[in-house]
Chains A and B, each alone.
Chain A
Amino acid sequence: MTGFLVRRLLQAVAVIIGVIAFMFILIHLIPGGEARAVLGPRAQPLAIENFDKANGLNLPLWDQFIHYLWNLATFNLGRSYIFNQTVNSLIGTALPKTLVLVGISTVFAAVIAIPLGVYQVVRRNKPEDYIITGFTFVLYAMPAFLLGTLLILWFAIEIPIFPTEAPQSQSIWGILADPRALVLPVITLSAITIASFSRYMRSSMMETMTEDFIRTARAKGAAPRRVLYIHGLRNAIIPIITLLGLSVGTIVSGAVITESVFNYPGMGLLAVNSAFREDIPTLLGVTFVVTIATIIGNLLADILYAVVDPRIRYAKS
C-alpha cells in the first residue's frame, strides 16, 4: 500500500510538471511572446524590451522555466492586466463559487443515479428498466449548452419559476442566498453525470448480482433486501469511486458550459471571459488551478479505491 501511494504520488507530480512544461511552451508560442500578450498587439518595441527585462524574459529559457515553475509552485499566478488584479484574487472569488456548483451537482447526481441504477437491476428487463434506460440515453445525447438553454426557455421564460441567471454577487454568500437560482444550473451540470453514473451503477450492480457470494448469501437464507443492499450494493458501489475521480475533468468542463449559459461567476466563466479578452495570464492561471484540482481528484479516487477494496492488488501491477 505504501509503495502504491508513493508511486501514485510521484506519477501525479510528474504529470503536474508535464502540464507546467506545456503551459510554458505555449506562452512562448504566442505570436510576439508574453510581452505582446500582456501589452497588446500594438505595443512599442521599447515597451516590450522593458517588459522583458522587468519580468526576466531576457534570461535563458532554462532559467525562465525554473522561475516559472517556482512561481506556480508558490501559487503566484501573475497579474491580469485586463482586469488589473492579481490572478490569485480573481481565482479567489471565482473558485469557491465553482466548488459550490460542482459539489452540489455531483452530490445531487450521485443521490439520483445510484438508486436509479439499483432500481433498474431490481426491475431488469421490465418496462421500468427500459424507460429509465431511454431516459438516461436522452440525457447523454443532450449537450449541456442545449439542455441549459432549453431549461431557461421553458422554466425561466415560458413558465417563470426560476431566474434566468445566477446572482451576480462578489461573495460566495450572495450565491448561496438565492438557492432558487442554483436549481437550473445544478440540473444542467448533473444531467450527464446522472446518465453516466446510473448506467454504470446498473451494469456494476448487474455484475455483482451474478457473483458467487450473492448466491451464497441467498443460499444461507438472507432476506432479498439484505442481499441486495448489504451484499450487492456495497460491492457494486466501489467502482463508482473510480468513476467519480475520473469524472472530475468532465464535470469541470461541463461547469464551463453551465456557467456561461447561466452567467454564473465561477472559474468557467472567468476562463471564457479571459479568453475573449485574450487575457493569457488569467486564462492559464485558471486552467492551471482547475487541472491541479482534477489531478488531485483522480489521485484521491485511486487511493480511496485501494483503501476501500482490499482485493485490488495495486502493488503487483
Chain B
Amino acid sequence: MQNPDDLLRARELELGEPVTPRVGSYALDEQDLLSAELTVDAVAGPSGGDVVSHGGMGRRILGVFVENKLAVVGVVLIVFFVLFCYVGPLVYHTNQTDAAAALNEPFNAPPGQGHPLGTDASGFDILGRLMYGGQVSLLVGFAAAAIASIFGALYGAISGFFGTWVDSFMMRVVDAFLSIPVLFLAIVLATVFRPSLTVFIFVIAFVSWLIPARLIRGEALSLRQREYVQAVRVMGGSRTRIVGRHIIPNSIGTIIVNATFNIADAILLLAALGFIGLGVPSPQTDWGSMLSNGVSYATDGYWWEIYPAGLCIVLVVVAFNFIGDALRDSLEVRLQTR
C-alpha cells in the first residue's frame, strides 16, 4: 500500500497543511480545497530551493508509472476493463437490448451451459450484461468527469483571476451547491430531469464541477500574483489570454489529478444512483443497477447477480484512485517545489 513516508513528504511540501488520504469514495475532497485555499499565501512567496530540472509533463507522467507499482496496476486494470466492455461484446455475442427475446432464456440461471456467469431475473446473460453495463459506467464516468473538469477549471480560473466581488459571488454560488449533500443533489436533478443517458452525464457533471472550481480558483489566486502574469498584464495581454495561456496551463497538474479522481467519483455516484433505483432507464443498465437487481434476490443465494457487478465497480474505482494518487505525488508536489 501507500508508503507513509510519501505522505509525510507530501505534507511537508504542502507547507504544514495536512495532506488528505484520498483513496476510494468521494469522501474528502473538501479537505483538499481547504488546504488549497489556506496555502495560497505561502505558495506565492519566493523560495530559494535547489535548482531542479524537470522534463515535460508527458515525461513526468511516464515517470510516475515507472516508479509507482500501484499506478501500473491501475492502468492495467483500466485497460482491461476498457477492452472487456468495448471489445468483449465483439467476441462474446449476447442479446442485451431485446427484453422480449430475453424472456426465452432461463431466468436467474446459475453459471453454466451457455451462460458462464448465469442469467439475471429478466433472462439477460450476466457476463454480456457486465460488458454492456460497463460501457455505460465508463462512458458516464469519463464524459461527466471531462465536462466537470473543463467547466470547473474555467470557472475557478476566472473567479480567482478576477478576484474582488466577482470572485466572492462566484464562490458563494459554489458554496451553495457544495452545501447540498452530493447524493441529494444528484437525486433531485435525476428526478426533475428524468434522465436519458446524455442527461445523466450532465447531472453527474453538475455535481462534480464544484471541487475542481474551488481547487483551480485557489491556484489562480496565487498565480495572478506571479511576476510573469504581472508582466503579461503590463505588456497589455488581455484577460482571456492570461486565463487561457497562463493560469489554466499552470494549473494543469491539479486539473489532471482532480479529473482522475473525478472519474472514480462519477462512476461511484452513477453506481450509487443505480443502486437506489434511479439509474439509467431499462433495458440499458449500469453496474450499480445490476447490483441493485441482484440484491433483490439476496435471500435466494443468487451470488452471480451480486459479486461480479460489485467487483467490477470496486476494481475500476480503485484503479482510478491508484492512478490519481500517483499522478498527484508526481505532478502536484513537484510542481510546488519548482
Contact = CB atoms under 8 A, between A and B. Distances in A.
B95 interface: no
A271 interface: yes
A65 interface: no
A290 B23 contact: no
Interface residues of B, number: 59
Say whether chain A's binding surface is mostly helix, strand, loop, or mixed. helix
Interface of A: 11, 14-16, 18-19, 21-22, 26, 29-30, 124-125, 129-130, 133-134, 136-137, 139-146, 149-150, 152-153, 157, 164, 192, 195-196, 199-200, 202-204, 206-207, 239, 242-243, 246-247, 249-250, 252-253, 256-257, 260-261, 268, 271-272, 275-276, 278, 280, 283-284, 286-287, 290-291, 294-295, 298
B80 interface: no
A218 B326 CA distance: 36
Interface of B: 1-2, 4, 7-8, 11, 16, 18-21, 23-28, 30-31, 34, 172-173, 175-185, 187-188, 190-192, 268, 271-272, 275-278, 288, 291-292, 295, 298-299, 301, 306, 310, 313-314, 317-318, 321
Contact of B318 (A22, A141, A199): A141
Contact of B11 (A18, A207, A287): A207
B52 to A, nearest CB: 24
A18 B2 contact: no
A11 B172 CA distance: 8
A143 B181 contact: no
B306 A153 contact: yes
Say whether chain B's binding surface is mostly helix, strand, loop, or mixed. helix
A22 B184 CA distance: 13
- 3 smallest CB-CB distances across A and B, nearest first, come from A18-B176, A140-B24, A199-B21
Nearest to B277: A276
Contacts of A192: 24-25, 27
Contacts of B176: 14-16, 18-19, 21-22
Contacts of A295: 179
Contacts of B192: 26, 29-30, 280
Given A133-B2, A145-B291, A257-B272, A286 B184 contact: yes
A143 B271 contact: yes
Contacts of A21: 176
B21 A242 contact: no
